[in-house]
Amino acid sequence: MSGKEYRTITDVKGPLVFLNKTEPVAYGEIVQLRLTDGSMKNGQVLDTSDDQVIVQVFEGTSSVDRQTGVKFLGDVFRLPVSKDLIGRILDGAGLPRDGGPAIVPDEMADIIGAAINPYSRESPESFIQTGISAIDACTSLVRGQKLPIFSAAGLPHNDIALQIARQAKLVGSDDDFVVVFCAMGITAEEYNFFVHDLERTGALENAVLFVNLADDPAVERLITPRLALTAAEYLAFEHDYHVLVIYTDMTNYCESLRQIGAAREEVPGRRGYPGYMYTDLAMLYERAGLVKGKKGSITQFPILTMPGDDITHPIPDLSGYITEGQIVISRELHQKGIYPPINVLPSLSRLMNAGIGPGKTREDHKSVSDQLYAAYAQGRELRGLVAIVGEDALNERDLQLLKFSDIFENEFLRQSRDEDRSISEGTLDLAWDLLTNIDTKYLVRLDQKWIDKYHPTEKKE
Amino acid sequence: MEVISEIRKGSEKMSEENGVIYRISGPVVTAVGITPRMYEVVRVGHEGLMGEVIELHGNQSVIQVYEETSGIKPGEPVVRTGQTLSVQLGPGLLTQIYDGIQRPLEDLEKTMGVFITRGVDADGLDLKKKWEFNATASVGDEVSAGAVIGTVQETETIEHRVMMPPGKGGTIKSIKSGEFDVTQTVCTLDDGTDIAMMQEWPVRTPRPFVRKYAPDVPLITGQRILDFLFPLAKGGTAGIPGPFGSGKTVTQQQLAKWSDAQIVVYIGCGERGNEMTEVLTEFPHLIDPHTGKPLMNRTTMIANTSNMPVAAREASVYTGVTIAEYFRDMGYDVALMADSTSRWAEAMREISSRLEEMPGEEGYPAYLSSRLAEFYERAGRVQTLAGDDGSVSVIGAVSPPGGDISEPVSQGTLRIVKVFWGLDAGLARQRHFPAINWLSSYSLYPQALDQWYRDNIASDYPEIRTEISALLQVEAELQEIVQLVGSDALPIDQQLTLEVARMIREFFLQQNAFHDVDTYSNLKLQYTMARAILSFQDEAKKAIAGGAELESVVNVPARTDIMRGRFESDYEERIAALVSDMGKQIAATMEGN
Ligand SMILES: Nc1ncnc2c1ncn2[C@@H]1O[C@H](COP(=O)(O)OP(=O)(O)OP(=O)(O)O)[C@@H](O)[C@H]1O
Ligand SMILES: [Mg+2]
| Phi, psi values for residue B92, rounded to 5° | 115, 0
| Phi, psi values for residue B334, rounded to 5° | -115, 140
Whole-angstrom distance between the N-terminal and C-terminal Cα of chain A?
78
Contact assignment for B274 to A121 by CB distance below 8 Å: yes
Pairing of strands B419-420, B159-163: unpaired
Asked if residues A432 and A454 have their Cβ atoms less than 8 Å apart, the reply is yes
Asked if residues B326 and A139 have their Cβ atoms less than 8 Å apart, the reply is no
Measured in Å, residue B559 CA sits from the centre of ligand 2 at 35
Q: How far apart are CA B67 and CA B86, in angstroms?
A: 17
Q: How far apart are CA B413 and CA B422, in angstroms?
A: 12
Ligand 1: residue of B225, B227, B249 to mutate (most ligand atoms within 8 A of CB) is B249
Q: How far apart are CA A228 and CA A182, in angstroms?
A: 6
| Phi, psi values for residue B80, rounded to 5° | -75, 155
- Which amino acid residue places its CA nearest to atom 25 of ligand 1? B244
Using the atom order of ligand 1, give the atom closest to the CA of residue A351. Answer: 29
**Closest by alpha carbon to A181, among A214, A224, A242, A236?**
A224
What's the DSSP call for residue A57?
A: E
Measured in Å, residue B339 CA sits from the centre of ligand 2 at 7
Write the burial class of residue B458 (CB in 10 Å: 0-12 exposed, 13-18 middle, 19+ buried): middle
DSSP string over B238-302: EEEE--TTSSHHHHHHHHHHHS--SEEEEEEES--HHHHHHHHHHGGGSBPTTTSSBGGGGEEEE
Asked if residues B249 and B269 have their Cβ atoms less than 8 Å apart, the reply is no
- Rounded to the nearest 10°, the torsion over CA A407, A411, A417, A418 is -170
- A50 min Cα distance to partner chain B (Å): 6
Asked if residues A372 and A409 have their Cβ atoms less than 8 Å apart, the reply is no
Distances (CA, A) of B229 to B468, B523, B571: 9, 12, 22
Write the burial class of residue A130 (CB in 10 Å: 0-12 exposed, 13-18 middle, 19+ buried): buried
- Rounded to the nearest 10°, the torsion over CA B239, B243, B246, B252 is 30
- Which amino acid residue places its CA nearest to atom 30 of ligand 1? A350
Non-local CB neighbours of B498 within 8 Å, separated by 6+ positions: B475, B478, B479, B482, B487, B490
Is some CB atom of chain A closer than 8 A to the CB atom of B285? no
Q: How far apart are CA B20 and CA B412, in angstroms?
A: 38
Is some CB atom of chain B closer than 8 A to the CB atom of A388? yes
Calculate Rg over the CA atoms of chain B: 28
Q: What angle do CA B43, B46, B47 make, to 5 degrees?
A: 70
Is some CB atom of chain B closer than 8 A to the CB atom of A117? yes
Asked if residues A83 and A37 have their Cβ atoms less than 8 Å apart, the reply is no
Asked if residues B364 and B422 have their Cβ atoms less than 8 Å apart, the reply is no
Is some CB atom of chain A closer than 8 A to the CB atom of B487? yes
Q: How far apart are CA A245 and CA A302, in angstroms?
A: 8
**pLDDT (tens digit, 9 = 90+) per residue, B550-573?**
989 998 999 988 998 898 889 999
DSSP string over A296-324: -EEEEEEEEEPGGG-TTSHHHHHHHHHSS
For residue B592, the model assigns a pLDDT of 55
- Rounded to the nearest 10°, the torsion over CA A182, A187, A193, A194 is 0
Q: How far apart are CA A341 and CA B6, in angstroms?
A: 63
- Rounded to the nearest 10°, the torsion over CA B126, B129, B131, B137 is 60
The reported pTM is: 0.94
For residue A165, the model assigns a pLDDT of 86
SS3 B451: helix
Beta bridge partners, A342, equal: A329
Averaged over successive runs of 10 residues, the pLDDT of chain A (461 residues) comes to 80 92 88 93 92 91 91 92 95 93 94 92 94 96 96 94 89 80 93 91 91 92 95 95 94 93 84 90 96 94 94 94 96 96 95 92 94 92 86 86 96 96 95 95 86 91 70
Write the burial class of residue A34 (CB in 10 Å: 0-12 exposed, 13-18 middle, 19+ buried): middle
Cβ contacts from A onto B, under 8 A: 221
Is some CB atom of chain B closer than 8 A to the CB atom of A398? yes
Letter for the amino acid at A108?
M
**Closest by alpha carbon to A119, among B408, B152, B539, B113?**
B113
SS3 A209: strand
**Closest by alpha carbon to A115, among A368, A286, A335, A358?**
A286
Q: How far apart are CA B391 and CA B324, in angstroms?
A: 9
For residue B7, the model assigns a pLDDT of 43
Pairing of strands A342-349, A325-329: antiparallel
Non-local CB neighbours of B202 within 8 Å, separated by 6+ positions: B39, B84, B85, B86
What's the DSSP call for residue B34?
A: -
Q: How far apart are CA B291 and CA B94, in angstroms?
A: 16
Q: How far apart are CA A362 and CA A258, in angstroms?
A: 45
Tell me if B425 CB under 6 Å of ligand 1.
no
Interface of A with B in 222-261 (CB under 8 A): 237
Tell me if B519 CB under 6 Å of ligand 1.
no
Neighbours of A338 (CB within 10 A): 17
Interface of B with A in 151-210 (CB under 8 A): none
DSSP string over B98-115: E-TTS-BHHHHHHHH-SE
For residue B418, the model assigns a pLDDT of 97
SS (H, E, C) B354-404: HCCCCECHHHCECCHHHHHHHHHHCCEEEECCCCCEEEEEEEEEECCHHHC
- Of B108, B244, B281, nearest to A320 by CB-CB distance is B244
User: Which parts of chain B sit beneath pLDDT 50?
Assistant: 1-12
Measured in Å, residue B248 CA sits from the centre of ligand 2 at 5
Q: Which residue of A has its CA nearest to B485?
A: A389
Write the burial class of residue B205 (CB in 10 Å: 0-12 exposed, 13-18 middle, 19+ buried): middle
For residue B473, the model assigns a pLDDT of 96
Contact assignment for A118 to B483 by CB distance below 8 Å: no
β strands within A155-236, DSSP E: 169-170, 177-186, 207-213
For residue B15, the model assigns a pLDDT of 56
Q: Which residue of B has its CA nearest to A369?
A: B431
Tell me if B590 CB under 6 Å of ligand 1.
no
Is some CB atom of chain A closer than 8 A to the CB atom of B343? yes
Residues A131-161: b if buried by 16+ CB within 10 A, e if exposed: bbbbbbbbbbbbbbbbbbbbbbeebbbbebb
**Closest by alpha carbon to B173, among B151, B144, B194, B152?**
B194
Is some CB atom of chain B closer than 8 A to the CB atom of A307? no
Measured in Å, residue B271 CA sits from the centre of ligand 2 at 7
B105 CB neighbours in chain A (<8 A) are 117-120
The helix or strand, by DSSP H or E, that contains position A442, with its residue range, turns out to be none
For residue A369, the model assigns a pLDDT of 94
- B108 min Cα distance to partner chain A (Å): 8
β strands within A337-441, DSSP E: 342-349
**Closest by alpha carbon to B438, among B505, B486, B506?**
B505
Beta bridge partners, B162, equal: B150
For residue B14, the model assigns a pLDDT of 57
Write the burial class of residue B17 (CB in 10 Å: 0-12 exposed, 13-18 middle, 19+ buried): middle
Q: How far apart are CA B134 and CA A361, in angstroms?
A: 52
Q: Alpha helices of B423-556 — where are they, by DSSP H? A: 425-429, 446-456, 461-485, 492-503, 523-545, 550-554
SS3 B56: strand
Neighbours of B470 (CB within 10 A): 10
Whole-angstrom distance between the N-terminal and C-terminal Cα of chain B?
85
